[in-house]
Every structure is written in C-alpha cells, then in structure tokens.
Structure 1
Amino acid sequence: MKRSSLQVDYRPQLVFAVKYRQALIQPHWEKQLYQYITGIVQNRRHKMMAVNGMPDHVHIFLSMHPAEPVSVLVQEIKKASSSFIRAEKFTPHRFQWQAGYGAFSYSKSHAQRVVRYVLKQKEHHYKKSFREEYLELLKAFEIEFQTEYLFDFFDVS
C-alpha cells in the first residue's frame, strides 16, 4: 500500500540582525549576499519568495519544505552567509549575525503582500526603525516576549 505524504505549506518571514546591530551590509555587495542566501534556501529544497534588508538586518520570506525545521535553516543561513561575507572580504570588520531570529508565518492569501513588504524594506525604514518594526510584528502575531531576549536595539534608549 502506497503512503501519501502531506505537504504542509509553511510560509515564514525570517528576520535577523547583524551582531551589535552594526550597519555592515553595504549596498555595493548586498545583492550578492541575497543571491547567496537564496542559493542556500533553494539548495535545501525551500522556495525563496523574497529577500531584502537594511545595513543592519535581513528579511527572508519563503515557502518551506516540511522536512527541515526553521531553526536548522536559519542556523545554516547565518553560518554559511557569515563565512561567505568573510571569504569575499566584503567588510574589513568581523562579520557575525546576532543570536536569535524572528519567524512569522503567513497564509497563502497574504503572500503577495508580504513579498511587497520585504522588497520595500528601504522605503519602509524611512518611516520606522527596526525596533519599531520588530515590536509591531511581535504584537501583531501576539507573541509574548521579554525585552532582555530581543535583539540589541541601540537606536532607541
């Protein structure tokens, strides 16, 4: 008897920041970084829907294959992309991602809205800081949090 496999369509928006929120991701190499991250995602059997960010953080929106936990994927993206940035010598500073990440899941009906949101990060951040944006996501998704476990936000006291 053939067993059918259930394909769960999980669409998280992943958010993580550069260690100490340093503005190290520069416009002249960010596209290469995003292409590299896309390769990691696709090689692990996920579908990249959008990737973009700011000099101090990245947003990734994807459709995940159910065989891999999100925590494992994020760990691999962070590890491999840090190594890539160092190997390419994109920055004279030691590049690392902060510990932790945010993962916010969306339904299929919201996918295009989230893609637009991720792709318009630079315009979005003219009006809102990363801290404001991240806290709004936590509140919108009703995620309880303790401030001491959030990213290091140096832009607000």
Structure 2
Amino acid sequence: MADTYSQIYIQVVFSVQNRKALIHESWEDELYKYITGIIQNKGQKLIVINGMPDHIHIFIGMKPNCCLSDLVREIKKSSNSFINEKQFTTIPFYWQEGFGAFSYSFSHIDKVVQYIKNQKTHHQKKTFKEEYLEFLEKFKIEHKDEYLFEWLD
C-alpha cells in the first residue's frame, strides 16, 4: 500500500486586534508554549515561533491532510481563551481577523528560522506594516489595502 510523502513549510503571520501591543515579554514564552501544544496536538510540526508585542510569526512543517485555515482558526480561538483566562492583559485580548501564509522550500528553512528568531532585532529597523507589505510583494500576492490588517500609524 502506498503512503503519502510531502514537504510543506508555511510561515503564518497574524496580529493582535487593532494592532495593540498587548503581548508582554513576561508571558510571551508561556503563550508560545501553549500555541506549540495546539500545533502538535493537530499533528503538525512547529519549527519556530516568535513575535513582537503586536504580532506573531509561526513556522510550521505541515502534513497534507491539514487545512491551514482550520489550524490558524484553532490557534487564534484557543490562545484568545488562554490569554483571557490567565488574565495576562487588563483588557480583553483578541487576534485580528485574517492572517498571512507564506510557503518556503526545504532549502530556505534555516533562513526563515533565523528571520523569525530575530524578530526583535529586525523590528528595530522595519515596522510590522513594512514587513507585511514586503511579504505580499515578495510573494507576488495581489491584495487590496482596505482588506489588510488595521494599521496604527
């Protein structure tokens, strides 16, 4: 009987609702561990996770039987509940609607991992908006500005 073999590597990027800087470094590791558990419980492989107070990057090795939008929906829904139940913020926490998903080949894994690990250094030079628009341009993704994240300028 034949089996299925694949290499699917996806970087997922999404933002805190209204781009509020609510993810605090005092609890971000706990959030990342929680999200790691969600991904692993869904049978997927987390390669690296990191972010900033207002957004997150998740790099996943995916199996072909996984629906990415269902996985991201579960990550957002469950982590919203986790953050609010733990009362990590003084105001209700929500992720913004939508997400970016960008695929990579095996040969790019190390570069993407380093990029995600260095988010805090990277964002000293570039805003999240600049970074996200650069992704859309690099991957030649057509978009309408009114359907992108709500930016705080």
RMSD between superposed Cα atoms in Å: 0.7
Give the partner amino acid of 2:26: H
Q: Which residue does the alignment assign to 2:82? A: 84
Quick one: distance in 2 between partners of 1:5 and 1:139?
A: 36
Select which of 48, 51, 72 maps to 1:50: 48
Q: Deviations over 1:39-73 (max 9, x none)?
A: 10111111111100000000000101211110000
Deviation track 1:2-49 (CA, whole Å, cap 9, x = no partner) reads 2x1322221000000000000000010000000100110111111111
Q: TM-score, normalised by structure 1?
A: 0.96
After TM superposition, the runs of 4+ consecutive aligned structure 1 residues lying more than 4 A away are none
Letter of the structure 2 residue corresponding to residue 84 of structure 1: F
Runs of at least 5 residues in structure 2 that lack an aligned partner in the other structure: none
Q: Distance in 1 between matches of 2:82 and 2:91?
A: 14
Question: What is the alpha-carbon distance in structure 2 between the residues aligned to residue 65 and residue 42 of structure 1?
Answer: 11
Aligned to 2:38: 40
Q: Distance in 1 between matches of 2:103 and 2:3?
A: 22
AA aligned opposite 2:141:
I
- For 2:86 and 2:141, locate their aligned partners in 1 and report how far apart those are by CA, in whole Å: 37
- Name 1:12's counterpart in structure 2: 10
What is the rounded CA distance, in whole Å, between the counterparts of 1:150 and 1:136 in structure 2?
13
Equivalent-residue separation in structure 1 for 2:108 and 2:98 (angstroms): 25
Task: Indicate the percent of aligned positions where both proteins have the same amino acid.
Answer: 52
Is structure 2 residue 106 aligned with structure 1 residue 121?
no
* Structure 1 spans left out of the alignment, 5+ residues: none
Residue identity opposite 1:21 in structure 2? R
Listed as ranges, the matches of 1:73-152 within 5 Å are 73-152=71-150
Report the TM-score, using the length of structure 2 for normalisation: 0.98
1:27 aligns with 2:25: yes
